[in-house]
Amino acid sequence: MKRFTVAVSLCVALFSISYAHANDFSYEQNNAFMATIAGTPLDQTAPVPAEVDIRQEDLSVSVIPDRELPPILSQHRELTYRLAWQEGPAPMMFLIAGTGSGFDTTRMDYLKRVFWQAGMHVIVISSPTNYDFIAAASDTGLPGLGYEDARDLHTAMSRAVERSREVNDLEITEYHMAGFSLGALNAAFVGELDSHLGQFDFESILLLNPPVNLYSSVQRLDALSNTKVQGVNGTDSFYEHIFDKLSRYFGTRGGTDIGAGLFADIQQSGEALTDAELAMLVGAVFRFAAADLNFVSDLVTGGGQYAPADETVTVSTSLTPYLRRALFCDFGCYIETQLWPDWQTRNAGLGIEDMAYRTSLRSIEDYLRNSDNIAVVTNADDFILARDDYQYLADVFGDRAFLYPRGGHGGNLQHQDVVARMLAFVEQGSVSSGTGEIPEYRDPLEGLEMNSDEAEYQFERSSLRALKVQDPLEGFNRQIYRFNGQFDEYVYLPVVRGYVWATPAVVRTGVSNVFNNLGDVPNLANSLAQGKVTQSMRTTARLLLNTTVGLLGIFDVAGAAGLPQEPEDFGQTMGRYGAPMGPYLVVPFLGPSSLRDATGSLADWTLQGSVDYLNNRQFMADQVWPYGLYAVDLRYQNDFRYGALDSLFEYDQVRYLYTKLRELQIQQ
């Protein structure tokens, strides 16, 4: 705990006021939607330890052991959560994920590392609106009610602590809790419930970007997917519109590197996304989360609105028809068609306004106002808050309201100032003097044109078009996708994590560089075959530089000199000359592909093995271990993670994204 105490002492000295003045806060992104999408710049992000340095594992616990689930949800009979632990006695921090999100999202992973670095055990739990929680831990199967979700979470948290103690013999000195977005609302209700039960007796609770009135925030989120986007009319597709912009952007700069900094980079170009386009992107993410919520709740309760109650939904069943239906039902639709009718059966004579009030922070205002161990962190431009919601948080929490002028919905949570303030509160409680002016509220939805006849079904129309991918082997592909996910989770990634743990970063980089250097042979061949003369010259220069000065490719000298690798494959070459993509395929162990691309991969591997560059053919023929090392490095360099989209409809989304990415690559 020493490192925690020292860090907190510095925080207390540095941060003595609740409100961040606009000119004093170094987070500069003034567009709320862009802030939400792009997050915090790396140079302003509070440093956290690498994953390999954290003692952690994913555990499962049975919460509702006698629940019967359809085959497609069979692997979610137990609730999976993530535990990061200290070696000795330490406080426990519970983290609750945001709307529709799982325990393993990037945001939750970062917060886990923040609090683990501060000397705490950490348990990360999925949102009650995530499909795994609905299946394994939601008593009614219909999340969205404050007190009921709190009971489900409290039970799951209790079981998780018991399980963690069994497995790792944890010593817990005290309890803390934090939640993001809907998870923050959940945390507030869990805290209120526990104030009566007295089980955890939380020392601190952090509400990160919470809604005040869940149902009014839902209306604001639903409105985003009805934004009217200029240039998308009639039968046009919003997604095609965005990919066209990406295509033009990549066409002017070369390459198709869709990385973390893409949106920040594109906003500095002539293809910058408008506020309406950014709003629609954010709205689309939440609409897909709503589709999941609608479908999974209907499956668990047997409601039959999306999948007939007498229809067995298995791993190989195409979910595309159900997704087509669910996409027409947003969060408000879920409330009206599933949550409200169920609540009404138990609360006759009360209206939907009563249900909304009982799930708002206003219903537990006395608890929030009088509990010095609870703080809120939010932004003046958080689009889930109306003006009166923002003012309400400032009034109720007073000097425990940490309000920032910019950041959108959680875009600044990794900022060094915000992280320092959170850590200070967790250790010291209310550390602010209450001085300073409240940052002025700004509504990101103002100026957006919505609810016109053209915009009303823009999202639905675009999404339905995106589902039209040639996939005649869908049943087989879905089974392979499921197999690949399980192989990845239980075999491939554990081996990769062991590799990361056992080898220094400099060695891993050298290994990757060597294999990448060998991979430039088919890159060069395909560049030449496509007539890309300039690119071929750059790739030739890479090969020469890295093979000589880079000591057989151990060092990427060419990359440091401004010659990054430019991947090309035979699938792209065939596509360049008009070969159709053909049926979509999921290749065992390797993942998404197509008939054309899978054939192209075989050709590339054959070429790489045939060209005896640096005597590699003879070396590989005499040894077995290089093949294993190559397979491990291949996965080590690939950021794709099965389940990362937190959706039962992940297969459909990945299928579309893969096909569009390949189109982009071929166009370049």
Torsion of CA 150, 156, 157, 161, to 10 degrees: 160
Tokens of 659: 């096909």
Distance (Å, whole) CA 562 – CA 664: 23
Residue 457 lies in a domain: no
Q: Domain check: are 304 and 415 in the same one?
A: no
CB atoms within 10 A of CB 621: 9
In a domain, 39, yes or no: yes
Type of residue numbered 311? E
Which pLDDT score is estimated for 430?
54
pLDDT per residue as tens digits for the range 20-58 = 555 578 998 999 999 999 899 999 999 999 888 899 999
What pLDDT score does 244 carry?
Answer: 79
H-type helices in 15-130, by residue range?
Answer: 32-38, 106-117
**Which of 304, 321, 342 is the endpoint of a domain?**
342
Q: Are residues 234 and 324 in the same domain?
A: yes
Asked whether residue 298 falls in the same domain as residue 230, the answer is: yes
- Alpha carbon of residue 515 to chain centroid: 30
Residue 436 in any domain: the answer is: yes
Query: What pTM, to 2 d.p., does this model score?
Result: 0.90
Rounded-to-integer distance, Cα 566 and Cα 537, Å:
11
Distance between CA atoms of 666 and 600, rounded to whole angstroms? Answer: 13
Q: How far apart, in whole angstroms, are the C-alpha atoms of residue 565 and residue 516?
A: 8
Q: How many domains does the chain have?
A: 3
Domain that holds residue 320: 221-342
Q: CA 361, CA 189: separation in Å to the nearest integer?
A: 8
Residues 539 and 618 in one domain: yes
What six digits make up the tokens of 259?
């990385």
Identify whether 391 is part of a domain. yes
Instruction: Pull the structure tokens for residue 15.
Output: 């941060």
* Domain co-membership, 75 together with 95: yes
Q: How many CB atoms lie within 10 A of CB 537?
A: 12
Residue that is last in its domain, among 432, 448, 464:
448
The reply to whether 83 and 141 lie within a common domain is yes
Residue 32 lies in a domain: yes
pLDDT in tens, 422-468: 999 998 875 554 446 899 999 999 989 875 665 567 788 888 888 88
Question: Do the strands 79-84 and 591-594 form a parallel or antiparallel pair, or are they unpaired?
Answer: unpaired
| Residue 456 resides in a domain | no
Determine phi and psi for 84, rounding to 5 degrees. Answer: -120, 130
Given strand 121-125, what is the order of strands in its sheet? 56-61, 79-84, 121-125, 90-96, 172-180, 204-208, 374-379, 401-404
Tokens of 40: 């915090």
Same domain, 102 and 138: yes
Residues 488 and 437 in one domain: no
Residue 458 domain-assigned (yes or no): no
Check: CB of residue 131 under 8 Å from CB of residue 116. no
Residues of the chain short of pLDDT 70, as ranges, are: 1-23, 234-236, 247, 249-264, 430-436, 451-456, 612-622
Dist CA 224 CA 331 (whole Å): 12
Of 448, 464, 493, the last residue of a domain is 448
Nearest residue to 102 via CA among 131, 65, 122, 73: 131
Q: Are 485 and 642 in contact (CB under 8 A)?
A: yes
Judge if 136 and 14 occupy the same domain.
yes
Q: What is the pLDDT of residue 14?
A: 36
Alpha-carbon span 454 to 445, nearest angstrom: 18
The three-state secondary structure class of 59 is: strand
Question: Based on the number of CB atoms within 10 Å of its own CB, is 607 exposed (0-12), middle (13-18) or buried (19 or more)?
Answer: middle
Q: What is the pLDDT of residue 312?
A: 83
Pull the structure tokens for residue 158: 């209790």
Distance CA 513, CA 520 (A): 11
Q: How many CB atoms lie within 10 A of CB 427?
A: 23
Query: Hey, CA dihedral for 98, 99, 104, 110, is it positive or negative?
Result: negative
pLDDT of res. 465: 84
Same domain? For 433 and 543 the reply is: no
Say if 476 falls within a structural domain: yes
Same domain? For 520 and 641 the reply is yes
The pLDDT value given to residue 618: 66
The CA angle 188-189-191, to the nearest 5 degrees, is 65
Where residue 202 sits, what CATH number does that domain have? 3.40.50.1820
Q: Which helix (H) or strand (E) holds 548?
A: helix 533-548
Question: Of the candidates 546, 548, 566, 547, which has an alpha carbon nearest to the alpha carbon of residue 557?
Answer: 546
Are residues 544 and 636 part of one domain?
Answer: yes
